[in-house]
Structure 1
Amino acid sequence: MKEILVFGNKGENLQYKTRIGVYSIIFNKKRDQILVIRTTRGGYFLPGGGLEEKENHEECLQREMLEETGFQVFMGEYLGQAQKYHLAMGKYPTLNHAHFYMATLGEKVQEPVEIDEEPIWVHISEVENLLFHEHQVWGVKQAFVKLGI
């Protein structure tokens, strides 16, 4: 079994809660930009998020995309998984176990539910500097490798 890459530092004497997440890497037609979520707090993240009870990866990604962007999404090839130790919201010890997928944007079917988040396109050269989590940068780099970028 392939070892899972782990990012972040595990603090001593902290009780970490594992949160399984599913994230999409969506390119524009030219493959020179990817879709990211910008928060009103100034953070940048890949579209996606945590699995809810009894959801599979595809259901999670579809729900998260509707909430964050209002768009349908079509899940593509699995790119891999990575973990990151961090303090969610600056205070909750969390181990994010992230699964990354190539995906394609579908039709806009509703207005986004998340009012403090905005979907934007960013040039692929900006991804490494913008994305908040290193394991999400790793996921994007897996997509670059897959596409020969």
Structure 2
Amino acid sequence: MITFGKMEPEINYTWRPGVYGIILKENENLVALIETDDGRYFLPGGGMEGSESHVECLVREGIEEMGKLLEIGEWIVKAQRYFYSEKDGTYYLVEGHFYFARIAGNTGEPLEADHNLKWIEAGEAVKRLFHEHQSWAVQKALTMMENNG
């Protein structure tokens, strides 16, 4: 598995598995991203809670971040990233599981008011994503689409 970021010596990292959906508008070459109020961009998804399955996690995150019901599709890739979260004051080793996903319906307004769904051109999305492992996963997804196209 590929790992991004640098492990700092003598730092205790909190392992945080997460699930992320790569949602493409294929004919328009657009990727769904979540923009937070601080101007950062992330893939829809997030950390797993308790004994959640990958499907349960992505469905919950879709409701929270987008107000959308997500359907999980084909698995794409897994990657890790070391980083420090200023928001949490915690050092994390995030393990991302990335899947193709699609929006299957609306559930109402997003539960997280500071999260906004944006459709961004694929190349630009890769550049804007805050986490390197998410950018890499989008590139892998686009390559898979090209190879299957």
TM-score if structure 1 supplies the norm length? Answer: 0.94
Runs of 4+ in 1 over 3 A off after TM superposition: none
Counterpart residue number, 1:112: 110
Counterpart residue number, 2:79: 82
Task: Read off the aligned partner of 1:21 and give its amino acid letter.
Answer: G
Task: Give how far 1:128 is off.
Answer: 2.1
What SS does the aligned partner of 1:148 have? Answer: helix
Counterpart residue number, 1:23: 20
Counterpart residue number, 1:148: 146
Task: Give how far 1:69 is off.
Answer: 0.4
Counterpart residue number, 1:121: 119
Return 5+ residue gaps in structure 2 as ranges. none
Task: Give how far 1:29 is off.
Answer: 4.3
* Whole-Å separation in 2 of the counterparts to 1:87 and 1:47: 20
* Whole-Å separation in 2 of the counterparts to 1:111 and 1:138: 30
TM alignment of 1:42-121, pairs within 5 A: 42-89=39-86, 91-121=89-119
TM-score if structure 2 supplies the norm length? Answer: 0.94
Task: Give how far 1:110 is off.
Answer: 1.6
Percent identical across equivalent pairs?
A: 38
**Pairwise CA RMSD of aligned residues?**
1.2
